[in-house]
Amino acid sequence: MADLTAALDALPKVELHCHLEGAMRPATVVELARHNGVPLPTSDPTELYRYDSLDGFLSIFWLVQSTLGTREDWARLAYESLVDGAAHGVVHREAFFTPARHLEAGQDLADIVAGLDEGLAAAESETGSTCLLIADMDRAFGPEAGLAQTERLAGLRRAGAPGMDRVVGVGMDSTELGIDVMTYLPAYDVARDAGFRLTGHQGENAPASGIAACLDGLGLERIDHGLTVLDDPDLVVRMAERRIAITVCPTSNIVIANTYPRLADHPYPRMREAGLLATLNTDDPAMTDLDLGKEYGLVAEAFGWGMPEMEAVALDGVEACWLDEDDKARLRERVRTAAATYAADPV
């Protein structure tokens, strides 16, 4: 069998923290920008992908987002993102989309969801991988916009609008600094009442107290990033005991947020040693020259882990996802079979 890097690329994997807009192929960014009249500072978007901070990254992310002008654009984004992920072992993804900027510009949430569903359905048929959606509130637009977006989403679910059976959750992303997460409680209450699962970006560059507020005040079921949890030992124990998942993105934390100078300095091993359900994800793969297979390989190399450790990471991804137990059981079997094949004949 191939070496560990190739085996990890092929290993069946679940991804729980990937922004569809951040998975847009560079060539697609250029084509959509030209088609929709969005000026880019360069014809090579990879030249844009250098960031000095999370907020610096967000300005580029918003530019990439702005190239999505039509339902067909959203369908293309969704199709390409899942095809690209499946090529590197993603068998199930629960992906974020953040439509606040587009809704403010006059796009219809129903059209966005329907377009995403069309693209994902085509990719699922082609690859056999599956993808559910999480509608994120963009904190840059404030809690009132988040509430309006979530109320519209709940209305679409009640109406059985096309693609809404794929939208499983509601989250929030964008800047953390200076944000009182409790201002988003009305939006999360609407989402909870409508039957959505709940998650939120927190703890990438804000204190552990914000993570605790997300759990205790907002009632979130997952935390995205969650790095500062280690600053609060009691919170670590609570999250470990309750198996509250944290969707960690180590390479993103190096390249985008500049939180650590190198991957070997990342606290991911300490998070797992503490018993946290810390999963492994890409965040914005096309904007960081990444895919999930590469992320697994980089993490294994940085921390000296082999297939047993990486199999455990992959199985935790299955545990943390929002599929039903029968689907999870099938995914666990796929992971274990692939890992056992490598163990029986490593090179």
How confident is the model over 282-331, as pLDDT tens digits?
999 999 999 999 999 999 999 999 999 999 999 999 999 999 999 999 99
pLDDT at 279 over 50: yes
In this structure, what are the phi and psi dihedrals at residue 267, rounded to the nearest 5 degrees? -80, 10
User: Residue 149 — very low, low, confident or very high, per pLDDT cuts 50/70/90?
Assistant: very high
Give residue 1's pLDDT.
Answer: 37
**pLDDT the model gives residue 284:** 97
pLDDT number for residue 205: 87
Number of domains in the chain: 1
Choose between 48 and 26: higher pLDDT: 26
Q: Under a CB-based contact definition with an 8 Å cutoff, are residues 229 and 236 in contact? A: yes
What is the C-alpha radius of gyration for the chain, rounded to an integer number of angstroms?
Answer: 19
Task: Please determine, for residue 72, whether its predicted confidence score (pLDDT) is greater than 60.
Answer: yes
Model pTM greater than 0.95?
yes
pLDDT at position 346 = 66
Q: What is the pLDDT of residue 213?
A: 98
Q: Is the dihedral of CA 21, 22, 25, 29 positive or negative?
A: positive
Q: For 18, phi and psi rounded to 5 degrees?
A: -145, 125
Length of the chain measured in residues: 347
> How are beta strands 130-138 and 197-202 bridged, if at all?
unpaired
Can you list the positions of beta strands (E) in the chain? 13-15, 90-97, 130-138, 167-173, 197-202, 222-225, 245-248, 278-280
CATH number of the domain residue 193 falls in: 3.20.20.140
Ranking 44-53, 178-187, 310-319 by mean pLDDT, the lowest is: 44-53
Matching residue, tokens 């960031």 = 51
Taking residues 175-191, report their average pLDDT.
96
Spatial contact of 142 and 100, defined as CB atoms under 8 Å apart: no
Mean pLDDT of the chain: 96
Verify whether residue 204 is a known catalytic residue: yes
pLDDT of residue 347: 57
Which of 15, 118, 204, 311 is labelled catalytic? 204
Closest CA to 243 of 316, 176, 183: 316
Domain coverage including residue 121: 4-344
54 pLDDT band (50/70/90 cuts)?
confident
| Stretch 126-143: mean pLDDT | 98
Who wins on pLDDT, 17 or 47? 17
